[in-house]
Amino acid sequence: MVQAYDILVIGGGASGLAAAIAAGRGIAGRRPPASILILERLDRVGKKLLVTGNGRCNITNRDVSPAKFHTVRPEIAEAVLRTLSPRQTAAFFAELGVLFRFDETGRAYPYSLQASSVLDALRAGAAEAGALTRCGCRVTSIRPRGGGFLVEAEERAGPGRYAARRVILAAGGSAAPKLGSDGGGCRLLEALGHIVLPETPAIVQLKTDSTYTRPLKGIKVEGSATLYIDGKKERAEAGEILFTDYGLSGPPILQISRAAVRAGKGRRAEVSVDCMPDYPFHRVCALLSNRAARRPACPLEDYFTGLLHKRVGQTLFKACGLSLRDPAGGLTQVQWKAVASKVKDFRFRVTGHTGWANAQTTAGGLDLAGFSPSGLESRKVKGLYACGEALDVDGDCGGYNLQWAWASGLLAGRSAADSLLKA
């Protein structure tokens, strides 16, 4: 039995819910009433949204400049992003009953600081717009048929078949498969002639040579991290850096991870950690040698007390080949310069990443060249739209990926609705 709908939204994540709301609002009052159905692979919609912003949901950011987004088609991404400013995002959510609060960095959160409140508002908004939801439904194929589409799916009760006049793909990328997205959406459109650009994890922890990170497991340093690719500086970020048994984590590491992962195995990627970013090298040299002159008998084991975490200081000395039992007064100026260099440039070779399961988003995906920038309609299959993480756009940490989800989802939903009204 084939169930017929006007619009099928494949994927009930952030962009899919936004698309369903926009589509429902766009065709409100149509006679006969239009029907919209969201097909979700998991047992409930929006699971990935619940973990964003450490459970607080970093909805967007005051600064959505193009530099915060990455794609091989920046002109198309910028055209989509221009359709929804942060102020318009706030207005959209205010209509749903969600107020924003901003932190000092410009990141926006729901006033409740609960991601669940954002999801509840989106679910209610989709229902009010007339959209139905069916969970536990994995779409296996999309086929054009008779001016519309036949969509086939695997469901708990057996195979499902749906007819739709318009289809919006919002199935996500390959990051965090347990939260709903496993890359299957891109394969569906690849079968229809769309190009899928190579996908790699982004906003993910980095594995490094763990000789010095493993002893520091769980320790955080307020510093800066600079990524070097084949010796060339690629990107630098400041903030709280976390040492782990496998390598490095924390916001600065997540920010630079995209470029580190994309460097691949054929190139040398290194992360330089500056443990005292507020002090230039020459001041660190003077500080360390003067401190030694005042406390010459102090063993190196205790030397950094009051400057850095004790174990970080001890590890820096070990990395310089020094014994922790040696007195500070026994080091030469050359040795103190070597220690200062290590403080300012604690270098770690990147050996990999922690995988798709731990990635927050996907770099790569459906080539934007295959979609209209004015409505995200497929240039290959009329009546087919795409939005969200499935497309080749990924943002930095800070609410940018959700801003892309809202902008692309609302645009695709409005466009699908407009095309129905004009049909």
The Cα–Cα gap between 312 and 327 comes to 18
Q: What is the pLDDT of residues 13-42, one digit of tens each?
A: 999 999 999 999 999 877 777 899 999 999
Q: What is the pLDDT of residue 32?
A: 75
Q: What is the pLDDT of residues 140-162, one digit of tens each?
A: 999 999 999 999 999 988 899 99
Spatial CA neighbour of 368 closest among 401, 385, 391: 391
The Cα–Cα gap between 246 and 242 comes to 11
**Which residues contact residue 69 at a Cβ distance below 8 angstroms, ignoring those fewer than 6 apart?**
77, 81, 393, 394, 395, 396, 400, 404
Lowest mean pLDDT among 30-34, 216-220, 257-261, 311-315: 30-34
Question: 3-state SS string over the chain?
Answer: CEEEEEEEEECCCHHHHHHHHHHHHHCCCCCCCCCEEEECCCCCCCHHHHCHHHHCCCCEECCCCHHHEECCCHHHHHHHHCCCCHHHHHHHHHHCCCCEEECCCCEEEECCCCHHHHHHHHHHHHHHCCEEEECCEEEEEEEEECCEEEEEEEECCEEEEEEEEEEEECCCCCCCHHHCCCCHHHHHHHCCCCCEEEEEEECCCEEECCCCCHHHCCCEEEEEEEEEECCEEEEEEEEEEEECCCEEECHHHHHHHHHHHHCCCCCCEEEEEECCCCCCHHHHHHHHHHHHHHCCCCEHHHHCCCCCCHHHHHHHHHHCCCCCCCEHHHCCHHHHHHHHHHHHCEEEEEEEECCHHHCCEEEEEECHHHECCCCCEECCCCCEEECHHHECCEECCCCHHHHHHHHHHHHHHHHHHHHHHHC
Report the chain's mean pLDDT, rounded to a whole number.
Answer: 96
Query: What percent of the chain lies above the pLDDT cut of 90?
Result: 95
Q: What is the pLDDT of residue 264?
A: 80
What the block records as the tokens of 129 is: 């717009």
pLDDT at position 266 over 90: no
pLDDT at position 275 over 80: yes
The Cα–Cα gap between 335 and 358 comes to 40
Q: What is the pLDDT of residues 207-228, one digit of tens each?
A: 999 999 999 999 999 999 999 9
The Cα–Cα gap between 293 and 330 comes to 10
Q: What is the pLDDT of residue 166?
A: 98
Q: What is the pLDDT of residue 180?
A: 83
Q: What is the pLDDT of residue 29?
A: 76
Query: What percent of the chain lies above the pLDDT cut of 70?
Result: 100
Q: pTM score, two decimals?
A: 0.95
Q: What is the pLDDT of residue 157?
A: 85
Q: What is the pLDDT of residue 34?
A: 80
Q: What is the pLDDT of residue 248?
A: 98
CB 59 within 8 A of CB 31: no
The mean pLDDT of 70-98, rounded to a whole number, is 98
